[in-house]
Structure 1
Amino acid sequence: MSDDLILYHHPFSRAATVLWMLEELGRPYELRYVDLQAGEQRKPEFLALNPMGKLPVLTDGDTVVTETAAIGLYLADRYALGRLAPQLDDPARATYLRWSLYAPSVIEPGAMAKASGWEFRPQQAGWGDFETMMDAIERAIGAGPWVLGEQFSMADVIFGGTVSYLLRFKLLDPRPVLTEYAERLTSRPAAQAATAKNEAIMNERGLSR
């Protein structure tokens, strides 16, 4: 298998988080800009990679990975096992997987349900009710500084990146534990490098929010 990592990217997509993952990884990679406004994500060559027509998409040689959490878990296991991901026999791996997958399966739909005023029975929804979800997020961070205590991991990019994004758009309650955690995340050199690259692409392409 080739070790050529290629991220199909647009700075206004979840690929921006994967760019942060790649910076944490510390391996060479290539960015391929996907012009969402021009509909490049709906072209046959892109749909062959991801039939959903969405970013992010990562290729590693002949391997194709989509979905932000899956990409993060894949990269950490393949290229940073023991550093960004606990070893397979490390009990901390359970916590690592738990909160990595909590982000897309609970936090994202839970925040959307609250913002959109969805009516549902919390006991029948995978994300439960909003306040219980907020309490769980706060408990996951705990005393910190990271989800695994003193060890920063890819779970912090997946889980923490989701928390930071939703806080920025006021879709989560700005509890002190969460805002302080988000500040620690944004102060990481890899996060700052990814932000700089995303902003450079925005300027180069004339993109504005």
Structure 2
Amino acid sequence: MLKLYHAPQSRSTRIVQLIHEMGVADQVEVHRVVIPRRDGTGARDTANPHPEGKVPLLVHADAVIRESNAIMLYLTDHFSGNPLGRDVGAPGRGAYLSWLAWYGNVFEPLIVMQFCELSHPGLDNTFRDMDTANTRLAEALSTHDYLVDDQISAADILISSTYAWAPQLAPDVPIIRDWIARCLNRPATKAIAESEMAAA
């Protein structure tokens, strides 16, 4: 059985949301752990095998997978045929892989820099800038309801999850705001977010 190490209201929340969206909650054991928080609360949990004490972490037999985009790809490939993924050879597979990688390679660094109010030509040259990132999103959404096509994918859940914890960073671009709302207002996504907030 697959085992996900998860801390509520963290980056691993989007993995739990994906698992529920995929309808495979009965096939993935979610193990809650404690993590150090930015506000100084929490601590490293000895029950968490992540080498840095972070989440998410997925364990499946001898496979240990960390980083949200890698875990999402692993899950959607493992449960092949699920509409949240795009199987090898399927239409949209290339776009799906590209958006998953774009999140970690470009989007999250840009969001963190924006959140921390960091700016430097070297960073802009390496990661682009938020205007460029928003242009990429808007271009994709101008032809489809979601990033890959007209069916939501794990890539949408991954990228839109940023705006669940930092709604103030959402761009004032109607087509992007509409997409964020479509993603965050899905029943499984809302249910997990609300249950974690209530538990907190």
Moved segments of 4+, more than 4 Å? none
SS at match of 1:157: helix
TM-score, with length taken from structure 1? 0.81
Indicate whether 1:79 and 2:79 are aligned: yes
Q: Distance in 2 between matches of 1:7 and 1:105?
A: 23
Conserved? CA contact 1:95–1:148, under 8 Å: yes
Q: Distance in 2 between matches of 1:160 and 1:80?
A: 23
Query: Which amino acid letter does the alignment assign opposite residue 72 of structure 1?
Result: M
In structure 2, list runs of 5 or more residues that go unmatched: 36-40
In structure 1, list runs of 5 or more residues that go unmatched: none
CA deviation vs aligned residue, 1:140-198 (integer Å, no higher than 9, x gap): 32243111222222111122323x33651x12423211111111112322212322432
Q: Distance in 2 between matches of 1:82 and 1:195?
A: 22
The two structures, once aligned, show a CA RMSD in angstroms of 2.2
Indicate whether 1:160 and 2:135 are aligned: no
In the TM superposition, what are the counterparts of 1:3-152 in structure 2 within 5 Å? Answer: 4-27=1-24, 28=26, 29-36=28-35, 37-41=41-45, 43=46, 45-46=47-48, 49-81=49-81, 83-121=83-121, 125-152=125-152
Give the number of aligned pairs: 193
1:15 is displaced (CA, Å) by 0.8
Q: How high is the sequence identity, in percent, across the aligned residues?
A: 26
Q: Distance in 2 between matches of 1:165 and 1:141?
A: 19
TM-score, with length taken from structure 2? 0.84
CA deviation vs aligned residue, 1:113-143 (integer Å, no higher than 9, x gap): 2333334225864311221122112223224
In the TM superposition, what are the counterparts of 1:178-189 in structure 2 within 5 Å? Answer: 178-189=176-187
